[in-house]
Each structure stands twice: as C-alpha cells, then as structure tokens.
Amino acid sequence: MRDVLVVVKSGDDQAHVMARQMVSWLSSLGASGHIVENRTDQEGCVDAYCLVESGIHPQLAVVLGGDGTMISVARKLSFLGVPLVGINLGRLGFLTQLTGEDWSEPLEQVVVKGFAVSQLIMLTCEVARDGRQIFSSGAVNDVVVRGSMARLIKVGIVFGGERLGGFRADGMVVATPTGATAYSMSAGGPLVHPDLQVLTLTPICPFLCDFRPMVLPTDRPLDLGVEEATAEVVLTCDGQATFILEPGDWVRVRRAPHPLKLAAVGRHSYFNKLLDKGFIRER
C-alpha cells in the first residue's frame, strides 16, 4: 500500500484531528496519507480528477464520518475504482466498517497485508425534458421522485419499454440493496440482501391504487414520468443531490457502470448488522 486517501467531513473538527493522526500513523507503516475534505453537493465535491492529475493514485480511501459522508464520497469516487473503508463518527454507521475507537488494528491489517473487496451496485439517473438531458447523477442508496408539501403527484412507470401505468402517491423510491435499509424501508419496502443485483420500486403513501413494492432486475432501464402535479416535484439522489422536476419530465434510472467498492474489514455479516442496528428484532 503506497497511497491512502483520507477523506474527512467538511467542517468536522474531530475528523480533521483524527485524519492528521492517521497520516502520521500511515507513515510509520510506510504508506503516504493524503487528506482531502469532502464537501456537500452544494459546496462542491472531492475533486477526483485533480487527484489523478496530481499523480496520486490511491489504493484505498479511508472515510472519516457517518453513512452520509460515505455515500457522498462513494458517489464522487466510484468511477476511480478506489475501495473505501469507513470509520463511523456519526450515529447509525450501517455502511461504515469501523468505529472511531477500534480502527488502528484492523486498518493495519488492510494496509500491510491487503484486503478483499465487496462490490455493491449503484444507480445512475438522468432527467429528460423535451427530449434533452438536463440533469444526471449517481446514487448509492436511492433515487426518489416526490411532491413537496405532502401533495400527491401522478407518476408514470415504464420498465424496459413496457408501461406499468400511472399511479398517484406522495412519490416513488427506487433503491439499491444498500439503500433498502434507508428511505425505502421507511416507505414499506423490503430488506434486500446486498449480494443481489436488483433494485426496488416502492411507492410513498399511494392513494387509491393497489401498487405494491416491486423487486426488479437491473438489466433494463426504469423510467419515472411526472404526469400530474399540483405542487413542486423534487428529484433527490441519496437525499443529497437534488433537482426540481416539471410535469412532462422523465427520470431514467439504470444500474451504474461502476460499483461501490468496500474493503472487507472485520467479520461483520449483513445479518449481524441488521440485528445490531435494530432492523430486525425478536420479540
């Protein structure tokens, strides 16, 4: 391991202190640590192109923050193919592999001996208006189309060129298996094992329609059209990247060409995480 990217949450003093300690620690192991601050989508992002142009080709990115920071960084760095290790400084920590108290020993194993990589699917979405693409983004967790101010919208659904119909609801959530434990689950969607190459489509408070959450393959595009709206309609990707939609707009969602790569650290299984984080409970 030669170069390790250490990504810290913007404005997080605890993360910056830990990052400096980590760079010194990495140096003692013979690796170079490079600190980069991750900013919100509104402020600007990790400039991955600048990393490449500066000659830094990290074999690993260590992300200091919570799940939100992990998701943000993954959206911006996935095309580089750099595996991520998350150190949880937030609350839930479902995506992060380590905590702020126990990172040094397992991370030393990763830096010195190498690691296996797990690959999770990501999504891309594009907005078409009057036949022109006007917005695009990646997503780790979900792509959501919903009305503001709790107003109903009518969403047309086309999968692989086949129209399923138009449905009235507060909105629709398209989620990866990773995102199944996020907004999708809150809207009544299923838990999905991360090894599956599928996406889920879950309505948010459907109105007078018998639309159940669906699990769909990722080999065909899923199109969501804004057919009727009485208030502003918002597209969000991971709850971070946003775009205002208009009636007549179509959102095309498909599997991203680059997966989210996570360094396999520790022995935490998917089901153990569900139990530890309270997603499933025995009564």
32-38 and 3-9: which strand pairing? parallel
List 27's β-bridge partners, or say none.
none
250-255 and 260-263: which strand pairing? unpaired
Number of residues assigned to the chain:
283
CA-to-CA distance for 121 and 254, rounded, in angstroms? 10
Q: Which two tokens stand for residue 272?
A: 């153990």
CA-to-CA distance for 31 and 19, rounded, in angstroms? 14
DSSP state of 179: G
In terms of phi and psi (left: phi > 0; alpha: psi -120 to 50; beta: otherwise), the region of 262 is beta
CA-to-CA distance for 10 and 40, rounded, in angstroms? 8
Q: Does the active-site annotation cover 210?
A: no
Place of tokens 């639309």: 211
Q: Is 174 helix (H, G, I), strand (E, B) or coil?
A: strand
Q: Which residue among the candidates 3, 12, 67, 223 is catalytic per the annotation?
A: 67
CA-to-CA distance for 105 and 109, rounded, in angstroms? 7
Q: Which amino acid is at 51?
A: L
What is the greatest pairwise CA distance in the chain?
A: 63
Residue (of 275, 274, 258, 278) closest to 84 by Cα position: 258
CA-to-CA distance for 254 and 218, rounded, in angstroms? 7
List the catalytic residues. Answer: 67
